Amino acid sequence: MKLGTRRSLMATTQSQMVADLYTAKTGQTIELVGITTFGDVSKAQLSQLGGTGVFVSALRDKLDEGEIDFAVHSLKDLPTKQDPRFTLAALPERHDVRDALVGRTKFADLAPGAKVGTGSPRRIAMLRALRDDLDYVPIRGNADTRIGKVTSGELDAVVLASAGLTRIGRQAEISQIFEVEEMLPAPGQGALAVECLSTRSDLVDFLSVLDDPRTRSAVTAERAVLSALEAGCSAPVGAFALDDGHTLNLTAAVVALDGREAVRKSAAGSPSEAMELGRELAAAMIAEGADRLMGEQSL
C-alpha cells in the first residue's frame, strides 16, 4: 500500500509513525511516497497564501489519480469543508495540543524588544496578549530552519507546536510549553488525519482501525467553530476540546492581532453532538463581536 506524504522531515516522520501503527496492527506493508506541495515551494507567508489547503491539494491530486492509496495530513492543515471525493478514514489518538517556545530562556524572561518568530497569526495575536513589548516576526520554513534562526542569533525565540517538535526528536530544545489557558491551540493541533478516496469502502474500513473516537469528537467540535466563523487555519482563532468519555468540553477564542481584544467562550455537551456544540459556540462568539475581530486581521 502506498501512503502519500509531504517531503519535509516533520511530515515524513509523522507519516512513518502512522505507517508503523498500521503495520503493527494489521501486518500490512506500507510504502511512503514523497510529494511536493504548493505550500512547500512557495516563499509567501501562509496568511498570504490563504493558509488552509496549501499543503493538501497535491496529495489529494495523487489520491484522485490513483498514484497513492491514502495520505496523512496534519489535521490543522485541512480545510474545514470536507471535499466529498475524500473521507477522513481515521483520526489516530491525538498528541500534545500545546504550543512550545524554543529559545534560550522562558517567555517571561525575554528582554523587551526581543524577536520572536512564528508563521501563525493566531500565535502572534495570543503572544501579544501576553506581552506586547516583544517584536513578533512572521517566518516560514520547516522546524529545523526556524530553530536555526534562534541558534544563529537572528531571532531570540520561535514558537512551534509541541507535538511536532517531539515527533522529530527536538523536544530537548523547548524552553517553555504554553498551557492552553495561556494560548489556545489551533483547531485540530496535535492531531493527524488519514484520508482516502470515499469510493474505496474497503480501504476506509481498513484504515478505520486507527480511528480514536475521543480525538474525533474533540477535533470535530474545534473545527466546527472554525468553519462557523468562516475562518481558515491562518486566522487568529484558537480552540480546544476534551472528550472525557461522557462530556465534551470546548473552549474557543478569537483574538485581535494587536492582542488587545478577545472573545473567548466555553461550552459543554454530548460528544455525539460535537458538530452542533462547535457551531453553537461560534454563534455565541459572533454575537459578542468575534466576526468584527476576524475582519480586522492584518499583520
Task: Just list the catalytic residues.
Answer: 76-77, 122-123, 140, 146, 233
* 274 and 268 Cβ atoms separated by less than 8 Å: no
Tell me how far apart the alpha carbons of residues 49 and 31 are, in angstroms, rounded to a whole number: 31
CA angle 225, 228, 230 (to 5 degrees): 110
* 250 and 221 Cβ atoms separated by less than 8 Å: yes
All residues at 6 or more sequence positions from 64 whose CB lies less than 8 Å from its CB, including other chains: 85, 197
**Cell 459572533 belongs to residue:** 286
CA angle 131, 254, 161 (to 5 degrees): 65
Tell me how far apart the alpha carbons of residues 184 and 265 are, in angstroms, rounded to a whole number: 12
